[in-house]
Amino acid sequence: MPDVLGYRIKFGVIVPATNAVVEADYNRMAPPGVTFHTGRMYIAQPALDSDAAFEALLREIPASRAIAVRDVVTCKPDYIVMGMSAETFWGGAAGNARFIEDVRAQSGGLGVSTGASACRAGLERLGCKRLAVLSPYQAIADKNVTRFFEEAGFTVVRFKGLRCPTATAIADVTERDLVPILRELNGNDVDAIVQVGTNL
């Protein structure tokens, strides 16, 4: 029997507990019959002000992700969406594939979408090859995002990293802040501007 509200599809969405954007965005855009159910990952140290701090945060994720997936599958979602992009780009195309397999196994075999895989599918569908990328992250993350796109067959022409100091500070970036950056990234030599960072 279909779920009374999610009668078309129920998504389990995994987000860092520091993320204030994904749940709100998904709930605002949900069409009738589509529901989003969030598993939140505890983040003890949300600092992102250096490469070392960024890597320390990512080391926290696997254990808290396993708990969040465990919890969200109890509502019997049809599909898992990863609402955190950084970890899904880590290790390039092979790293993203491993990540998907890990979450699929943790969820009991559900399909999994990540920020990296969704970007790749959308860009391929649109025939985009040359990219400008906007990121809230530190340099080490920007290298991993670039590696993923280049291994996936794209060319990163320009990259702008905002270097947000904490995971929660990403949501403090306003549209007004982004307009001049998007103008800077735009140009005839790019097919698409790609923004990573789900709290941005």
- Of 54-58, 81-85, 138-142, 184-188, least confident by mean pLDDT is 54-58
pTM: 0.92
Give the dihedral sign, CA 172/159/96/124.
Answer: positive
Give the dihedral sign, CA 179/123/198/48.
Answer: negative
Q: Which pLDDT tens digit goes with each residue over 74-88?
A: 999 999 999 999 999
pLDDT of residue 45: 83
pLDDT (average), residues 170-198: 96
Number of residues written out for the chain: 200
d(CA 43, CA 167): 9
pLDDT band for 1, please (50, 70, 90 cuts).
Answer: low
pLDDT (average), residues 116-127: 98
Output the CA torsion 132→190→175→147 (10° steps).
Answer: -20
Three-state DSSP at 148 gives helix
pLDDT of residue 34: 97
Among candidate residues 131, 128, 135, 200, the one with its CA nearest the CA of residue 170: 200
Q: Which pLDDT tens digit goes with each residue over 59-69?
A: 889 999 999 99
Q: Which helix (H) or strand (E) holds 46?
A: none
Mean pLDDT of the chain: 95
Helix-strand-coil split of the chain, %, nearest 5? 45, 20, 30
Q: For residues 160 and 181, is the Cβ–Cβ distance under 8 A?
A: yes
Share of residues in the chain with pLDDT > 90 (%): 90
Examine the pLDDT at 58 and tell me if it is beyond 90. no
